[in-house]
Structure 1
Amino acid sequence: MKQKSLPIPKAAPSRLQRELSASILEVIRADKLAPGARLAEVALAERLQVSRTPVRAALKLLASRRLVRPGASRGYFVADTMPPARKPPAKPVPADTDRLFLAIARDRRSGRLPVDVSERDLMQRYGATRPVVQRVLTKLAEVAAVQRKPGHGWRFQPIIADAAARDESYRYRILIEPAGLLEPGFHLDPSWAAEMRERHQETMKLPWNDTASIALYEMNAAFHEGLAAASGNRFLLVAVQQQNRLRRFANYDWTFGYERVLVNCREHLEILDRLEAGERETAAALLRSHLENASKLTRITDNPAYGRITNVRK
């Protein structure tokens, strides 16, 4: 007699999904969002300083518990009724997490932090609690900056750590990224372009602080990777993704100021304008100029005589 197969149990939500779900509910309450209000993944990702993928997973988890509702075609919305706010257990303060995130990035870039570390190492070095360290490591793992070692500890991924390597990286990007816009299979996804435009415009409106540099870099990385993906050339996309991984720690610490943020965003938006108008050659020239200017400014700030005043990397 043929036996009935047992149903496969569903995987339990990850710790990150649970934390983000709670954070999304806090955002709904703090902003006093009305029932039916749209929960934009892009805005939530920037506010919680994670990528869209875990935000989408957290929204799906909330929808399964009927704490938010899915739209008829796509997206999620505030449910008609919200559960009463529970007094949450003590958890890392976002500001503490962001400060540790930047401290680790600076120390890795300078070589002060070794490649292999443990949670205890980081707790002792920075005087941080285990929940804060775990939260930072989770965020770093999300962007492939660290990887958990088999058995025990964490390993940082390779980075671009010296001026000569940064100069080579920019020359490499100048060679390949503008060329990608001229590929015969180039196709700009309108929904991606609209999302990028929204994220850049929102960044230009937000007040600037040091920890905003994390979300700024991830937005910039997404922009350059998106253009590479639109080229239709899979090898070009892999190359740009690799460059973004190598540059991540050197770019999280942006200290050039808000004016340079505005320049960066405006240049990106102008490239989008030209691409949407079908002017790919003009867009390629603008992208090349964009990268060349960043390269020149980077060489200035890498000069020991200049001192550590700014960080203008994109």
Structure 2
Amino acid sequence: MRVVPSSLHAEVAHALRQRIFDGELEPGSFLDEVALAEAMQISRTPLREALKVLTAEGLVRHEPRRGCFVAEVTEQDLDEIFPVIALLEGRCAHEAALNATDAELQGLQVLHERLARHAKARRINDYYETNFAIHEAIIGLAGNRWLAQVIGDLRKILRLARQQQLRAPGRLAVSLSEHLAVFAALKARDAQGAEAAMRTHITRQREALRELTRDERRKVAG
């Protein structure tokens, strides 16, 4: 993967961020500056600036005299972040119900139909990408840039763990039903109902992740 020099640290940060989200750079892994600079055909200066950006975002942690590592999301991180993002995205759904046009809701309809097809076929990666697009669309329909900014920062951290919850037994079908409940409230212009449904949806994501963690611990213990 080559990054052209003119892109500087912002493009380098984008490339590394995507590799983290795609799982190419795994949580806890060491980020070898020499190897990365050679692979991306750049100098270490924009690479170091990019790593500072990712550190500020919480995707990378810097350890003095050791270097940079891909961040690992802890159970405490999840317990602290999910209630906050449930409140914030719930408010986005509230505002989207009041602000969305009929044409914009039709666009959401298309996304939900796609989501249902992926759920039926159990295409988890495709489901996740469409799920992500739906959340982004609702955030956009809220028309509140402050909400969008804070949610965007938190979602970068949650993206390190969020997709795992779709692998919990029965979670894919439940997630789809939750999404349809949010969408039904949006179509009905039920702001309070949309907010409550979105909060429930996100809270249950945390519950699914917690159950997966318990299952993994049982397997190790057993």
Instruction: Say whether the fold is shared (TM-score over 0.5).
Output: yes
Q: How many residues align?
A: 178
Residue 143 of structure 2 is aligned to residue 232 of structure 1: yes
Aligned mate of 1:250, from 157, 161, 164: 161
Residues 154-190 of structure 1: per-residue CA shift (max 9 Å, x gap): 7774156111111111011122111223338632522
Residue 176 of structure 2 is aligned to residue 176 of structure 1: no
Greater relative CO, 1 or 2 (CA 8 Å, sep 6+): 2
Aligned mate of 1:187, from 100, 119, 136: 100
Aligned residue for 2:128, secondary structure, equals helix
Amino acid at match of 2:30: P
Q: Report the equivalent of 2:43.
A: 151
Q: Counterparts of 1:308 and 1:279 in 2: how far apart (Å)?
A: 43
Q: Counterparts of 2:106 and 2:153 in 1: how far apart (Å)?
A: 24
Alignment check: 8 A CA contact 2:185 2:191 kept: yes
Displacement of 1:307: 4.2
Radius of gyration: which is bigger?
A: 1
Q: Report the equivalent of 2:14.
A: none
Alignment check: 8 A CA contact 2:86 2:202 kept: yes
Q: Counterparts of 1:256 and 1:120 in 2: how far apart (Å)?
A: 38
Q: Report the equivalent of 2:112.
A: 197
Change (3 A) 1:233 1:300: same
Structure number with higher helix proportion: 2
Q: Counterparts of 1:176 and 1:167 in 2: how far apart (Å)?
A: 15
TM-score calculated relative to the size of structure 1: 0.47
Displacement of 1:271: 0.9
Q: Counterparts of 1:248 and 1:228 in 2: how far apart (Å)?
A: 16
Amino acid at match of 1:264: S
Q: Counterparts of 2:144 and 2:215 in 1: how far apart (Å)?
A: 39
**Identical pairs, percent:** 20
Alignment map for 1:71-150 (pairs within 5 Å): 105=23, 108-109=26-27, 111=28, 113-116=29-32, 118=35, 150=42
Two-structure CA RMSD over aligned residues (Å): 3.6
Unpaired runs of 5+ in structure 2? 3-18, 60-70
Alignment check: 8 A CA contact 1:225 1:240 kept: no
Alignment map for 1:265-304 (pairs within 5 Å): 265-303=176-214
Alignment check: 8 A CA contact 1:170 1:292 kept: yes
